[in-house]
Chain A
Amino acid sequence: KQEVTQIPAALSVPEGENLVLNCSFTDSAIYNLQWFRQDPGKGLTSLLLIQSSQREQTSGRLNASLDKSSGRSTLYIAASQPGDSATYLCAVTQAGTALIFGKGTTLSVSS
């Protein structure tokens, strides 16, 4: 059974710092991996989608990498801002249509 783990569960950094969020999965037979952002009391917003054949995706200050063979993905946030404070979730798509989520990393960026 696929398991998705995100470490750390919570992270606090000062504004301007570069940071890395980690996601690991136990079964490398995935179609893609997706990173989401969730603000308190809100739904999930997709940040980046990496297909299994890709190594990384970039959007603005965000860069996500995927190493399928080792079952790992990282989300790199450059020059963090207070507005980046949120919970970040990763999820993998397996055979069929199921999306399996990690429990998230809650990020707090202080000014």
Chain B
Amino acid sequence: NAGVTQTPKFQVLKTGQSMTLQCAQDMNHEYMSWYRQDPGMGLRLIHYSVGAGITDQGEVPNGYNVSRSTTEDFPLRLLSAAPSQTSVYFCASRSTQGPPGELFFGEGSRLTVL
């Protein structure tokens, strides 16, 4: 029962570097999303996707890119990392069949930008 898998779990970057956070799910969920969690700010939606080839912006999309070429994968790209992007990132997925259902989360990716 893999569920939602995120890699890497920890990453340290220097300002201006680029990287990709990987997210994969094996539940055949159409909906996938990325959140960031910061102290005092709670969880905020960055980008989401309702299926392969379809993505949309959430509350805090600036500085992040996403793509969805397969149902299983939803990578999050930081093109030029900034210290303000130091955070814990969570990927989540759910089915879109029927009423909106339970959202399943990965274990998180902890990113530090120096």
Contact = CB atoms under 8 A, between A and B. Distances in A.
Interface of A: 31-32, 34, 36, 41-46, 49, 51, 89, 91, 93, 97-104
A43 B31 contact: no
B31 to A, nearest CB: 6
Contacts, number: 55
B77 to A, nearest CB: 21
Given A93-B100, A97-B96, 4 more contacts: A32-B101, A97-B100, A99-B45, A103-B41
A101 B102 contact: no
A103 B40 contact: yes
A19 to B, nearest CB: 21
Contact of B90 (A43, A100, A102): A43
A37 to B, nearest CB: 11
A10 B47 CA distance: 30
A93 B31 CA distance: 13
A89 B103 CA distance: 13
A41 B101 CA distance: 25
A102 B100 CA distance: 18
Nearest to B32: A97
B105 interface: yes
A102 B44 CA distance: 10
B99 interface: yes
Nearest to B96: A97
A42 B107 contact: yes
B42 A104 contact: yes
B105 A34 contact: no
Nearest to A4: B42
B43 interface: yes
